[in-house]
Amino acid sequence: MKKLENLILTYKDFPKKGIDFKDVLEILQYPDIFQELILKMSSNQFLKNAEAIISIDARGFIFGSAVALESSKPMIVARKPGKLPGNILTREYDLEYGKNSLSIQSDALKKFNSFVIVDDLLATGGTVDCVTKLLQDQNKEILGLITVIELKELKGRLKLDFPVHSMVKI
């Protein structure tokens, strides 16, 4: 059986020079490994304690919705600008390569008080920090982050004041 680590492909200088892009999409072609990964991502206490999952655009949706199913938790999404209808809350942040902003539907957010964030990769932590601030501004609690990959050297977890459950540390 192939190992999870071997399915994470690195693309040099994508989408910009100097970035080693870690591609998680190959994992989806191996359902047994994908399933094992989702079971592992779902096995932590802070997820059990959370009322809902918030997953981040776009690869975070793939893993977030699978974790939501496995853990029987409701899921809401944080999306890139211009994608969400209705009343939205938006915040801008710096990315490892550029700037971005994320929006959340405020009516969806109102229904829950404690959240776990799911994304594909933790780099500098700016993305997760943005979602954290969006939620904390609404007096919501974040119990932890679940991510497939953690880029250790960028020390993103030091930006976060909740536990990080990462499956592969590179």
Binder among 8, 56, 78, 116 for ligand AMP (CB under 6 A): 56
Binders in 145-164 for ligand AMP, by CB under 6 A: 156
Closest-CA residue to 112 (of 56, 49, 170, 34): 49
Phi, psi of 74 (to 5 degrees): -65, 155
Q: What Cα–Cα distance (Å) separates residue 130 from each residue in 19, 56, 89, 96?
A: 21, 11, 11, 13
Q: What is the DSSP letter of 25?
A: G
Q: What is the DSSP letter of 14?
A: -
- In this complex, which beta carbon is closest to ligand AMP, that of residue 122 or of residue 143? 122
**Amino acid at residue number 4:** L
DSSP reduced 3-state for 140: coil
Answer yes or no whether residue 22 interacts with ligand AMP by CB under 6 A. Answer: yes
Binder among 28, 124, 160, 163 for ligand AMP (CB under 6 A): 124
User: Segment contacting ligand AMP (CB under 6 A): 19-27, 31-39, 105-113, 137-145?
Assistant: 19-27
For residue 47, the minimal CB distance to ligand AMP (Å) is 19
Answer yes or no whether residue 127 interacts with ligand AMP by CB under 6 A. Answer: yes
Answer yes or no whether residue 67 interacts with ligand AMP by CB under 6 A. Answer: no
Answer yes or no whether residue 123 interacts with ligand AMP by CB under 6 A. Answer: yes
Answer yes or no whether residue 121 interacts with ligand AMP by CB under 6 A. Answer: yes
- In this complex, which beta carbon is closest to ligand AMP, that of residue 143 or of residue 156? 156
Q: What Cα–Cα distance (Å) separates residue 146 from each residue in 9, 13, 48, 89, 140?
A: 20, 26, 12, 23, 18
Interacting residues toward ligand AMP by CB under 6 A: 19-22, 56, 59, 95-96, 119-127, 156
